Structure 1
Amino acid sequence: MWQGGSTASVPAADSFDWFADMVSSALMPTAFSTGDATGFYAEGSMLDLETAQVSRFSYSPLRSRRTPALIRRGDPEQYQLGLVTKGSAWLAQHGRESELHVGDIVLWDTSRPSESGSGTDGQNVELFVLQIPKAHMLLPSQQADRLLAQRFPAGTGMGAILTQFLLALADNGPDCRPQDLGGLGNMAVELATSCLTQQLGATREVPAQVRAHALLRHINAFIEHNLADPDLTPQVIADRHHISLRSLYVLFQGQHESVAGSIRRRRLEHCRADLACPDLRQQPIQTIAARWGFTSATAFSRAFRAAYDTTPNDYRADVLRSRISTDHETCGSNRFHRRGDLSVVRA
């Protein structure tokens, strides 16, 4: 699952440029400088967790700058959390600067200028980077910004747990199934949020709605991954997430639909998409319904009509008929244009 490479696979003269390009592509556009470009060593790998990404880099001493011009060139709009596992480094951003050693964690914002360096002791550095899109960050930006470029040790508490999680990903990531990666991404974001919250000393500052939002995301991912299971019920969901059924219902009170309604809507949306797929037009409607957790043809037909004001059979026929009509119109339009082109040529 990890993807990457090393300078061992490129000519020595190109090794520094290779690393600069890789980091600029994997993390963000950045300007690099080093005292020994020809003897530069580096390797890097990335693991995509859907809601986050983990990157691991090992490299020779260097300096880097993220300028306003580079931000305009490309900004992934992320908070990035770095963990030093070998060597030393430093980071300056938002009016702060920190020296970093093995076991230290630091946070930076890709949308702000920054400057950093590594190998202050002349040794190579190894760094894990957890990339969290701002849209997925559970901590309010006002609180996250208070931690930019501040060093905090990861030897105890949530920092230690986050460190162990990242190291476990390095060892076991290749053995994870693709369908597990999204859940690991959610776990990474929540662990990072808890780690940052601990550093703020503001557990009470983080609203209960942040924790509720994290749980709700877990539950929504669980529902999406288990729609095909006809036994998926609110009680099963509550049991799997170690909460009461009442707590589950309360969690969904702020949503536009109930937990049962969410299950039904998602199943119907998948069924509707399959019914509109020309490649599946030979599959019986009940086969499609059963694939998405509907065990009763009558119940499926009733739910489909209530949601879309048409029967599954009529919907499929109308969509496929519309596709055929559109294809004919396109062909006719193409013939018209070709004739027009020919008439112009002949004239």
Structure 2
Amino acid sequence: MLPESTFCTEDLPASDRFEAWTQRLGNTHAPMHLSSERTADYRGHQRVLALGDVTVWPATFDHLVFHRTPRLVRQSDPEVLHLSLLRRGAGAASWGRQQVGYRIDDFHVNSSSLPYEISTGHDPVSIIGVEIPRTALGLRAGQAEQVVGRRVSGREGMGALLAGLLVQLTSDTSSYRTADAARLATVVTDLVTAVFAHALDAEEFLAPETHTRTLTLRIKSFVRQHLGDPDLTPASIAAAHHISRSYLYRLFQAEGQTVAAYIRDQRLAGAHAELTDPRLHTLPVHAIAARWGYTRPGDFTRAFRTAYGITPRESRLRALQQLSVDAVHSTVDTTRMTPPAPLPHH
């Protein structure tokens, strides 16, 4: 599991909630003056994933106004850049005369070195925040601050890739180990750098290693989006990214795998998830195979058996049998917990 902490204002008395939330966000980002129309009984929930110098924090909270003044900047500046992916609600930010509104799946970009005011809508908002040291980005001095105040989309391009990673990372951390934190911090940093470089039209200034890692991530995202295409091949992938097949092979070799193996593993993982999903038990096995790019059922069966040691049909049967066993156990447990009805009095 990744290092993680959780904070919920509802664990505190109502009178202490807003002050505690103010302190929590100040420790997460930088000292700020916070105000709200709901201070009497404030509702806020935050998880913090510590990835070394990078922090990722999904949060949901009531109406809030953040105000970081020039005086607070002078008093304490951790020199971090902040990104918020807006998942629910609405928000707006201002830096003097400059004002920007944000909608769902937009990134808000801020800097602890600049004064600002941010306000959310009246309804609760949900965000995924990222705190990253300014010096960690592979950009020239002063470039990162040029992105502050721009509306960065999380619906397309590198922004969508970063948004997808953050959503996946914060949705389920059970598959990660503590040792994965440093690797994830590198991936997040590379993607933030690439998003900023794209916003500045400065991709040519990216460090070679950052460009290589982000290109690999973009290619993998492309592959996952086209797994149902039976014509997905190294040649088509290379052509879509305007690189040679030999360069594509080198990118994956650096990750310790081959292009063909990555395609196969992703297809089989997707097919396995659908075969073991009870909601899809009436969908024929060959139809699931076709959804994941296998046009010949025999090829799918052989590849599946090699990967999982059983056939697709056996995998589906085991999943359904386990579901039946779990249902029986659940019924038995419920029966044991229900006290017997009292005997009637005569």
Question: TM-score range, shorter-chain basis?
Answer: 0.5 to 0.7
Work out whether 1:22 is the aligned partner of 2:24.
Answer: yes
- In structure 1, the residue corresponding to 2:142 is in which secondary structure? helix
Q: 1:40 Cα shift?
A: 1.5
- In structure 2, the residue corresponding to 1:55 is in which secondary structure? strand
Do 1:55 and 1:129's aligned partners in 2 also have CA atoms closer than 8 Å?
yes
Distance 1:203 1:215, change over 3 A: closer
Do 2:17 and 2:43's aligned partners in 1 also have CA atoms closer than 8 Å?
yes
Q: Which amino acid in 2 is paired with 1:211?
A: P
Distance 1:135 1:201, change over 3 A: closer
Distance 1:242 1:93, change over 3 A: farther
Distance 1:183 1:94, change over 3 A: farther
The superposition leaves residues 218-269 of structure 1 with CA deviations (integer Å, 9 ceiling, x where unpaired) of xxxxxxxxxxxxxxxxxxx9943479xxxxxxxxxxxxxxxxxxxxxxxxxx
Instruction: Name the stretch that deviates more: 102-111 or 70-79.
Output: 70-79
Q: Could you tell me which residue of structure 1 aligns to residue 132 of structure 2? A: 132
Largest Rg, 1 or 2: 1
Q: 1:28 Cα shift?
A: 0.7
User: For 1:109-120, what aligned pairs fall within 5 Å after superposition?
Assistant: 109-119=111-121
Do 1:93 and 1:108's aligned partners in 2 also have CA atoms closer than 8 Å?
no
Instruction: Name the stretch that deviates more: 20-29 or 92-101.
Output: 92-101
Q: Give me the whole-angstrom Cα distance separating, in 1, the residues matched to 2:57 and 2:208.
A: 26
Q: 1:211 Cα shift?
A: 2.8
Identity %: 22
Do 2:18 and 2:39's aligned partners in 1 also have CA atoms closer than 8 Å?
yes
Do 1:96 and 1:148's aligned partners in 2 also have CA atoms closer than 8 Å?
no
- In structure 2, the residue corresponding to 1:173 is in which secondary structure? coil
TM-score by length of 1: 0.59
Do 1:2 and 1:174's aligned partners in 2 also have CA atoms closer than 8 Å?
no
Q: Give me the whole-angstrom Cα distance separating, in 2, the residues matched to 1:95 and 1:132.
A: 26
- In structure 2, the residue corresponding to 1:84 is in which secondary structure? strand
Q: Could you tell me which residue of structure 2 aligns to residue 196 of structure 1? A: 196
Q: 1:14 Cα shift?
A: 1.2
Q: 1:11 Cα shift?
A: 0.7
Do 1:6 and 1:44's aligned partners in 2 also have CA atoms closer than 8 Å?
yes
Do 1:97 and 1:150's aligned partners in 2 also have CA atoms closer than 8 Å?
no
User: For 1:48-197, what aligned pairs fall within 5 Å after superposition?
Assistant: 48-93=50-95, 95-119=97-121, 122-197=122-197
- In structure 2, the residue corresponding to 1:18 is in which secondary structure? helix
Distance 1:238 1:3, change over 3 A: same
Work out whether 1:212 is the aligned partner of 2:226.
Answer: no
Do 2:190 and 2:210's aligned partners in 1 also have CA atoms closer than 8 Å?
no
- In structure 1, the residue corresponding to 2:136 is in which secondary structure? coil
Structure 1 segments unaligned to the other structure (5+ residues):
217-236, 244-347
Q: Which amino acid in 1 is paired with 2:254?
A: R
Q: 1:113 Cα shift?
A: 0.8
Instruction: Name the stretch that deviates more: 74-83 or 22-31.
Output: 74-83
Do 1:33 and 1:62's aligned partners in 2 also have CA atoms closer than 8 Å?
yes
Q: 1:70 Cα shift?
A: 1.5
User: For 1:270-309, what aligned pairs fall within 5 Å after superposition?
Assistant: none
Structure 2 segments unaligned to the other structure (5+ residues):
214-250, 258-346
Do 1:105 and 1:152's aligned partners in 2 also have CA atoms closer than 8 Å?
yes
TM-score by length of 2: 0.59
- In structure 1, the residue corresponding to 2:202 is in which secondary structure? coil
- In structure 2, the residue corresponding to 1:61 is in which secondary structure? coil
User: For 1:250-261, what aligned pairs fall within 5 Å after superposition?
Assistant: none
- In structure 2, the residue corresponding to 1:160 is in which secondary structure? helix
Q: Could you tell me which residue of structure 1 aligns to residue 218 of structure 2? A: none
Do 2:134 and 2:144's aligned partners in 1 also have CA atoms closer than 8 Å?
no
Do 2:50 and 2:181's aligned partners in 1 also have CA atoms closer than 8 Å?
yes
Q: Could you tell me which residue of structure 2 aligns to residue 240 of structure 1? A: 254
Distance 1:184 1:178, change over 3 A: same
- In structure 2, the residue corresponding to 1:178 is in which secondary structure? coil
- In structure 2, the residue corresponding to 1:141 is in which secondary structure? coil
